[in-house]
Amino acid sequence: MREVHEFSEYRDFKDARDKTITFPTKAVYHYRVGPGPAGLSAEYMQRTLVLTDVEFNVDLPDDLFALQFPRGIAIRDGLNGLEPTKPE
């Protein structure tokens, strides 16, 4: 299996500081398996994404990134190597 990503239709966007950023507005993702007949891979799925609007380098509030976990679940901190917390 392999994926092929194609980016195209680049446009210039202005960021919050009026700097120009060139960014693709179209992405096509091809998902392939193979080899198929004649040794070629076979595409089993394709997705196309079209970007209509984007903002770069804008300030975001810190609380936007605060995680709220449901009560009663165990949480393991893999980064700091801490054992799972006990559910409430």
User: Going residue by residue through the chain (88 aa), what tens digit of pLDDT does each one get?
Assistant: 889 999 999 999 999 899 999 999 999 999 999 876 677 788 899 999 999 999 999 899 999 998 888 888 877 777 777 666 665 5
C-beta of residue 43 within 8 angstroms of C-beta of residue 2: no
Buried b (16+ CB within 10 A) or exposed e, 22-48: eeebeeeebebeeeeeeeeeeeeeeee
pLDDT of residue 11: 96
**Calpha distance 28→48 (Å, rounded):** 4
The token duo for 84 is: 């799972």
